[in-house]
């Protein structure tokens, strides 16, 4: 019998317990296969998730995925600067998360850029000037127009070419959407999370991290 990945044990901790703690911390229902929550009234993000990754737990959000979110994020220099300041802290990471997708495409069906030449700071500052390119592209234009531009701008590298071609070959719609996303994550070791869980402090730690994310991004706070 196949094990439910939401209940998989890692270091005595389960994904089910983590997502339940996220819902408890935010007072929001779990959505999207039960793996994330959606704060209300946000402009540059849609969801916040928590997951196990190797020997760590990551609480993450993904600014600038949709076109309106990209305009709100990159169009506000303060948001970008605060995210970069957050990344200087040892417990937080920020990385480029650009990709092509279509409406309601599952993550495994998107084309995530893997071979770009830009670090997080270069990536975000460059998108501030490249926002005019954030829109949908017809299937043929992905190959003839978007791919060469992404390559010139350093968002992708030659090792992305096969991924791009595979994405276009299985694209079920006539167009795809460019998403200049960023992944912003708070990282805990499994040892630390297990200690927090044992002490009954896991929910409050997650709430504190979510509050930090929302404040950094200039989004409305969670209800008290």
Note whether residue 223 is domain-resident: no
Per-residue pLDDT of the chain (224 residues; tens, 9 = 90+): 344 444 444 446 788 889 999 999 999 999 987 689 999 999 999 999 999 998 899 999 999 999 999 999 999 999 999 999 999 999 999 999 999 999 989 999 999 999 999 999 999 999 999 999 999 999 999 999 999 999 999 999 999 999 999 999 999 999 999 999 999 999 999 999 999 999 999 999 999 999 999 999 999 999 88
Residue 191 in any domain: the answer is yes
In a domain, 140, yes or no: yes
Alpha-carbon span 171 to 98, nearest angstrom: 17
| Residue 222 domain-assigned (yes or no) | no
Residue 206 and residue 22 in contact, taking contact as beta carbons nearer than 8 Å: yes
In terms of residue numbers, what domain contains 80? 5-216
Q: Is residue 93 in a domain?
A: yes
Residue 66 lies in a domain: yes
Q: Is residue 58 part of a domain?
A: yes
Phi, psi at 97, each rounded to 5°: -140, 35
Quickly tell me which residue has 């990471």 as its tokens.
93
Q: Which residues of 165-179 are buried (b: 16+ CB within 10 A; e: fewer)?
A: eebbeebeeeebbbb
Q: Give the span between the Cα atoms of 21 and 129, in whole angstroms.
A: 39
β-bridge mates for residue 49, sequence order: 36, 60
Contact at 8 Å (CB) between 218 and 80? no
Q: Which tokens go with 147?
A: 């791919």
221: in domain: no
Both tokens of 27, joined, read 């007072």
How far, CA to CA in Å, does 2 sit from each of 10, 109, 205?
A: 17, 23, 32
What total of structural domains would you count in the chain?
A: 1
| E strand spans, the chain | 9-10, 13-14, 36-37, 48-53, 56-61, 92-101, 111-112, 136-138, 175-189
């Amino acid at each position: 019998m196949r094990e439910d990945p939401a209940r998989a044990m890692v270091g005595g901790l389960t994904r089910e317990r983590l997502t339940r703690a996220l819902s408890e911390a935010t007072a929001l229902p779990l959505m999207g296969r039960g793996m994330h929550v959606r704060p209300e009234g946000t402009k540059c993000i849609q969801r916040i998730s928590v997951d196990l990754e190797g020997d760590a737990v990551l609480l993450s959000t993904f600014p600038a995925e949709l076109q309106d979110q990209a305009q709100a994020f990159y169009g506000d220099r303060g948001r970008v600067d605060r995210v970069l300041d957050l990344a200087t802290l040892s417990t937080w990471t920020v990385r480029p998360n650009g990709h092509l997708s279509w409406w309601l495409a599952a993550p495994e069906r998107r084309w995530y850029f893997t071979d770009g030449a830009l670090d997080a700071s270069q990536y975000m500052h460059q998108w501030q000037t490249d926002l005019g390119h954030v829109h949908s592209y017809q299937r043929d234009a992905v190959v003839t127009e978007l791919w060469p531009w992404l390559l010139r701008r350093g968002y992708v590298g030659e090792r992305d070419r096969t991924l791009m071609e595979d994405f276009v070959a299985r694209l079920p719609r006539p167009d795809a959407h460019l998403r200049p996303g960023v992944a912003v994550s708070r990282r805990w070791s499994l040892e630390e999370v297990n200690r927090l869980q044992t002490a009954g402090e896991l929910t409050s730690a997650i709430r504190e991290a979510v509050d930090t994310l929302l404040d950094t991004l200039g989004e409305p706070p969670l209800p008290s």
